[in-house]
Amino acid sequence: MRDEVALSIFGNNVRDLRNKRQISQEKLAELSDLDRTYISSVERGQRNVSILNIIKIAEALNVNINSLFEGIGGCDE
């Protein structure tokens, strides 16, 4: 899978989960101790997110890390 596609799917998953929880990018940033512009760039698929930040985002969204990778090749098996 192309890198850009994987980043885009990951970002869409973050956005979808954030929207389901009805929280803003600003609130997610606060909960995850990350900057709002960072969250925005993740959701747009412009960031290759580190493992530690993936953990922060998952915890802030109160989801299993696997749900952030749904739809990315090799992660759905």
Fold held by 3-67: 434 Repressor (Amino-terminal Domain) (1.10.260)
Residue 75 CA to residue 71 CA, distance in Å, equals 7
Domain parsing of the chain, residue ranges: 3-67
Mean pLDDT of 7-35: 98
Inter-residue contact 67 to 13 (CB < 8 Å): yes
The 10s digit of each residue's pLDDT in 40-63 is: 999 999 999 999 999 999 999 999
Which parts of 1-77 fold into alpha helices (H)? 3-20, 25-32, 36-43, 51-61, 65-68
Mean pLDDT of 30-35: 98
pTM: 0.91
DSSP 48: -
